[in-house]
């Protein structure tokens, strides 16, 4: 869809948002990125992420909170976006137990501002980040977008489920094409410092024990950042249309008689937490001291993505191994934090 030339990326200084912005600029798109540089984790890494393309002639960075209704209204009116990719969110399952209001402010109110901006300004496609956490108490694996997700286990998951419902409403009422992407445990260079891989690496380097929850009996569909970005880029250009075969008496949650679609983006290959840690130990060349703990509130023991719809519709299936992905992460971490070369 070459007519999608100007794209708004929210959360542009975030892990996924910065990688996506860079990729879109390389593809010749004009990108407006917004971010409020929240101190949920050290904003210095956010500043470093955007530094690589901050002076690109087709990029504009706007420091803005997407919960600011007046500012968002003005931005949409001034810029005239062809497509929007909403990646901004208050992230983290466990933090949602400590500061629930921030999740509603950003993930619900902020997302409403995105939807209203799309509604009133002719946006051709809204792509938005959901999360594997919406599967919650479900244990029927692999997780399928064709199954209901009505049992979230954290407020973060509930806000992501709310985003899916809100987007469908706007797709139905105003015919705004909307695509939701359920990301599965994203990792890689420039990753979030609150994620397990980052915490493990820092602790091992500093000779501190790592916390291993559920006594190591966990599996995750770890998905490398480049695979996530490839999936998003392909989805942006795959604008959903109403499904003429959608059956209201047996409704499929992943599609609709409105221009709406859901996809999983995961590696489709769950890896045990202990193997993940062992792979990291091999990359660093150092063993971790392990502090085994019970499962944390709001967490789930396993995730596993069915990506057959993504593969069928856009011809892509994530496939980067944890050995490759963790190796790349360690090389970045070493260059950025230890050798100070980035």
What separation in angstroms does the CA of 241 have from each of 67, 176, 314?
29, 10, 14
Using a 10 angstrom Cβ sphere, with 0-12 exposed, 13-18 middle and 19 or more buried, the burial of residue 313 is middle
What separation in angstroms does the CA of 287 have from each of 70, 279, 336, 337?
52, 10, 21, 19
- Strands 219-220 and 271-272, by their bridges, are antiparallel
Find out whether the peptide bond into 28 is cis, omega within 30 degrees of 0.
no
What tokens does 82 get? 């062809």
Query: H-type helices in the chain, by residue range?
Result: 15-26, 43-51, 69-79, 95-98, 100-103, 111-120, 155-174, 196-205, 225-236, 273-284, 308-314, 322-333
- Render the burial of 237-273: b for 16+ CB within 10 Å, e for the rest: ebbbebbeeeeeeeeeebbbebbbbbbbbbbbbbbeb
Taking alpha carbons only, the member of 312, 206, 214 closest to residue 255 is 312
How many residues in the chain?
342
Q: Is 103 part of the annotated catalytic residue set?
A: no
Name the catalytic one among 135, 156, 260, 333.
156
Helical axes 196-205 vs 322-333, angle rounded to 10°:
50
Those residues whose C-beta lies under 8 Å from the C-beta of residue 312, and which sit 6 or more positions away, are none
Catalytic residue list: 156
């Amino acid at each position: 869809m070459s007519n999608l030339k100007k794209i708004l990326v929210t959360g542009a200084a975030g892990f996924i948002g910065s990688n996506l912005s860079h990729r879109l600029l390389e593809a010749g798109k004009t990108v407006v990125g917004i971010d409020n540089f929240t101190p949920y984790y050290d904003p210095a890494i956010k500043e470093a992420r955007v530094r690589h393309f901050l002076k690109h002639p087709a990029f504009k960075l706007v420091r803005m909170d997407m919960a600011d209704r007046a500012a968002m209204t003005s931005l949409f009116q001034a810029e005239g976006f062809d497509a929007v990719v909403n990646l901004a969110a208050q992230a983290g399952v466990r933090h949602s137990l400590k500061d629930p209001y921030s999740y509603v402010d950003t993930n619900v109110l902020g997302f409403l501002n995105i939807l209203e901006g799309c509604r009133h300004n002719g946006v051709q496609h809204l792509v938005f980040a959901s999360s594997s956490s919406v599967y919650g108490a479900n244990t029927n694996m692999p997780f399928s977008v064709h199954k209901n997700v009505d049992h979230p286990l954290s407020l973060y998951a509930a806000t992501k489920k709310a985003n899916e419902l809100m987007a469908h409403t706007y797709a139905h009422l105003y015919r705004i094409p909307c695509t939701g992407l359920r990301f599965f445990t994203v990792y890689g260079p420039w990753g979030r410092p609150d994620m397990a891989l980052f915490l493990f690496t820092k602790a091992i380097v500093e000779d501190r024990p790592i916390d291993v929850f559920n006594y190591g009996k966990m599996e995750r569909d770890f998905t490398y950042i480049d695979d996530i970005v490839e999936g998003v880029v392909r989805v942006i250009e795959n604008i959903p249309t109403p499904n003429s075969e959608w059956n209201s008496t047996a409704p499929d949650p992943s599609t609709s008689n409105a221009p709406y679609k859901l996809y999983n983006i995961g590696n489709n290959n769950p890896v045990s937490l202990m193997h993940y840690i062992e792979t990291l130990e091999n990359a660093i060349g150092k063993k971790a001291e392990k502090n085994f703990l019970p499962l944390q509130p709001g967490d789930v023991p396993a995730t596993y993505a069915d990506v057959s719809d993504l593969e069928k519709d856009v011809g892509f299936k994530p496939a980067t191994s944890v050995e490759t992905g963790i190796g790349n992460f360690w090389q970045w971490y070493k260059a950025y934090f230890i050798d100070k070369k980035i």
